[in-house]
Structure 1
């Protein structure tokens, strides 16, 4: 606030994995501004593009380091020596932007996905109704530049849990992660299926006994991982999550039963307050078992892309042709190909294009 930051402003967070980054996120949100994470490991061209496109009012750094192209920006180094104890008196509406995360996409320049407070509150509160075990100790593996990091940050902190943050350079060290899970008695973990498979393969017997909730997301899960998990840790629930950044972290989830059989792994059903349609190329619903594009609606749908009105109009659409759908309701075309299962779950088949 002393820097003149308020609603409508963008604050860049440029630092590696450290607790200061969490403080920067919370401080930005409390000021009513939106944070823009910038990973120092990004290529210089990507960093320069984000700096130019986002229109940052302030760049928060650690140790005074700043990327090339930031000379014209106001810089602020994290400093916790003097700060007020009272929360700031800032009026924040549900429609106020909370963050902008840049996704690579399949072609062209990165896209800045704008997400508001309503979106992230919905995404977080839905977890409390879907997942059975409350978050006690969450190991955060995701980069802050990916929206999957929000799972650990807000789900854990809003529920009074402990967030465990492996330092930069060690967050991909398998032995360090296994020792951390055991030492810190981690209860909740979200990881790529491929990474979790490695953790299972490399763990000593019983080393992951503290886990009660394991979530895999970010890439396709294979049936062999499910079997390997329940053979070794039958008391830990295993979930598959799906969701585009434009849908605010997750839109579908599925809890694997211990006796799961089959080769096709479902992404599950829509989470609370999310609607989903599977449509043909002409915008009509497809029958059971027929592939179609997944289209999402509901409280998690982002406002759109920063400075990309044409792309926003193409991907965030209205579907007045569908029965019972309000003309004003917005939907996001995921570009993902799925099909309905008889039990109402969805199978992910790949990209439409």
Structure 2
């Protein structure tokens, strides 16, 4: 494990140097920091990188393309998950698809996702709806905020007794079941 010094994450040249010195193989960035990192002229020298994980923001297609071009040996992974559902809920292994957005993928183990319409009914592939989450990583609610908890956490409309979290995020399913963030 190599940890950059305070503030060093803001300087791509320092990160490139640390990655090379410590032979770092895996990085975890928010997409905006990945974009800053990719601006360094020496980023392609980070040949030991095999895995770049992004979460915390939507991953732009341009950043994905830059990783593919500048770091061809590194796999790029896009994760999605609000704090209310532990850390990450969905996973996507990025690949060249010629799309205008990077998918957020499919749920990880012990978590569920639903894209529902205003009547809390599942939407078909290609139709935009609101993303709901359920499963083992779901929070119980907001500390000392019962009204907000009641607004965002609900019993599943499917009669299975599961609790769901209403993310407020819009998404759609592709025909292959992969979720795209809208």
Contact 1:280/1:286, CA 8 A, preserved across alignment: yes
SS of the aligned residue for 1:338 comes to strand
Cα deviation, 1:156-199, whole Å, max 9, x if unaligned, reads xxxxxx3x222223232222112111111111111122221222
Residue matched to 2:180: 347
Taking structure 1 as the reference length, the TM-score comes to: 0.49
How many Å separate the matches in 1 of 2:145 and 2:119? Answer: 25
Could you tell me which of 180, 187, 191 is aligned with 2:25?
187
How many Å separate the matches in 2 of 1:174 and 1:230? Answer: 18
Q: Which has the larger radius of gyration?
A: 1
Could you tell me which of 282, 289, 314 is aligned with 2:119?
282
Q: What's the RMSD between the two structures over aligned residues?
A: 1.5
Contact 1:279/1:295, CA 8 A, preserved across alignment: yes
What is the deviation of 1:205?
Answer: 5.8
- Counterparts of 1:1-353 in structure 2 under 5 Å? 162=1, 164-204=2-42, 206-257=44-95, 259-319=96-156, 321-322=157-158, 325-327=159-161, 329-349=162-182
Cα deviation, 1:30-64, whole Å, max 9, x if unaligned, reads xxxxxxxxxxxxxxxxxxxxxxxxxxxxxxxxxxx
Residues 232 and 169 of structure 1: is their aligned pair in 2 closer, same or farther, counting only changes over 3 Å?
Answer: closer
**Structure 1: runs of 5+ lacking an equivalent:** 1-161
How many Å separate the matches in 1 of 2:153 and 2:41? Answer: 44
How many Å separate the matches in 1 of 2:50 and 2:80? Answer: 20
Deviating beyond 4 angstroms after TM superposition, the runs of 4 or more aligned structure 1 residues are: none
- Corresponding residue pairs, total: 182
Contact 2:55/2:80, CA 8 A, preserved across alignment: yes
Taking structure 2 as the reference length, the TM-score comes to: 0.93
SS of the aligned residue for 2:23 comes to coil
